[in-house]
Chain A
Amino acid sequence: MFARNTMARLLLSTLILSASAAHAVTTVPLSATAGVRNDYIETSSIFALLTNVYKQASGTLSSEDQKQHIKTVIFAASNLETGSVAEWTNPANATAGRVKIVMTKPVQGGYCRMLFTQVEKDNVIRDYTEWACKTMDSKFWTFSER
């Protein structure tokens, strides 16, 4: 009975954490950290789990590329007009990133900008849609998927 209760609590905690992570608002765009792979398979076996771990590891940008992408996204959100594109490339790692400002809308105390972001590694490209928001009293941009 105790074991069953513990399992239920663990499951509930995991669900709550997953739900909160899906709507996470961070100061770093998701496209910088989530990598280029999204072809993960259902983790029904150890093999599938290991395959996903490999995909995650091989598709993640290096820390310097992540920083370059973050800088490009923040530069674009801060300076570019709607419709403009900013990009970075790193031939040494066969990586690149792009960001396009799609729209801008006012929100209470600030404004939000919709971004189409793209990261590339070894000719694998992944597209993201992200929101960058900034309020008048905030020093940093915050990023979210919605």
Chain B
Amino acid sequence: MIKAITLIAVVFLVGCSSVPQSTKIGSNQYCYTSQTVQTVNKESVTSTTTVKCSDDPVEQYVPAKMGIAKDCTESYITMNLGGQTVREKLHVCKKHNGTFTVVDSNTFR
């Protein structure tokens, strides 16, 4: 009887100590806030707040955000790696000097 009670107690304790499953939240920031504050004659103050939310992955590329590239697009290529056909998605931005930069989504976003 004591063994059974001990066993049940252990099972309960194990249940309590288990790590709760957490929902993985995307690492990319979704919304951005920008605020403009202006003073007129050092007296009246006006402010404008803009909240921009976008889940468009192209808009979240760092080269575009930094202003060093424009016209970011997604492209697909097919290649043969080790005898296997691989279809890959590319993120490509055209820089202001005309050079195309292939963005690694893991590195730059």
57-74 of chain A: CB within 8 A of chain B: 64, 67-68, 70-72, 74
Q: Is the interface of A mostly helix, strand, loop or mixed?
A: mixed
User: Would A84 and B100 count as touching, CB distance under 8 A?
Assistant: yes
Interface residues on A, range: 20 to 34
User: Would A27 and B79 count as touching, CB distance under 8 A?
Assistant: yes
Q: How far is the CA of A86 from the CA of B101 in the complex (A)?
A: 6
- Does A114 make an interface contact (CB < 8 A)? no
Q: How far is the CA of A78 from the CA of B80 in the complex (A)?
A: 14
Q: Which residues of A contact B88 (CB under 8 A)?
A: 71
User: Would B102 and A140 count as touching, CB distance under 8 A?
Assistant: no
- Does A111 make an interface contact (CB < 8 A)? no
Complex interface bits, A28-68 against B, C-beta within 8 A gives 1, otherwise 0:
10000000000000000000000000000000000010011
Give the residue of A64, A71, A91 whose beta carbon is less than 8 angstroms from that of B79: A71
Q: How far is the CA of A79 from the CA of B90 in the complex (A)?
A: 12
- Return A78 CB to nearest CB of chain B, in Å: 6
- Return A120 CB to nearest CB of chain B, in Å: 14
- Does A24 make an interface contact (CB < 8 A)? no
- Return B101 CB to nearest CB of chain A, in Å: 5
- Does A90 make an interface contact (CB < 8 A)? yes
User: Would A89 and B101 count as touching, CB distance under 8 A?
Assistant: yes
- Does B6 make an interface contact (CB < 8 A)? no
Interface residues in B, total, Cβ within 8 A: 19
Known: A75-B90, A91-B107, A92-B107. A68 touches B79 (CB 8 A): no
- Does B75 make an interface contact (CB < 8 A)? yes
Q: How far is the CA of A68 from the CA of B90 in the complex (A)?
A: 9
Q: Which residues of B contact A85 (CB under 8 A)?
A: 98-100
- Does A112 make an interface contact (CB < 8 A)? no
User: Would A90 and B81 count as touching, CB distance under 8 A?
Assistant: no
Beyond the given pairs A75-B75, A90-B104, 17 more chain A to chain B contacts, judged by CB atoms under 8 angstroms and listed by A's residue number, are A64-B106, A67-B81, A71-B77, A71-B79, A72-B102, A74-B79, A75-B100, A75-B102, A78-B77, A84-B98, A85-B99, A86-B102, A87-B101, A88-B101, A88-B102, A88-B104, A140-B78
Q: What are some 25 contacts across the A-B interface (CB < 8 A)?
A: A28-B79, A64-B104, A68-B102, A68-B104, A71-B79, A72-B102, A74-B79, A75-B77, A75-B92, A76-B100, A80-B100, A84-B99, A84-B100, A85-B98, A85-B100, A86-B100, A86-B101, A87-B100, A87-B101, A88-B102, A89-B101, A90-B107, A139-B78, A140-B79, A140-B85
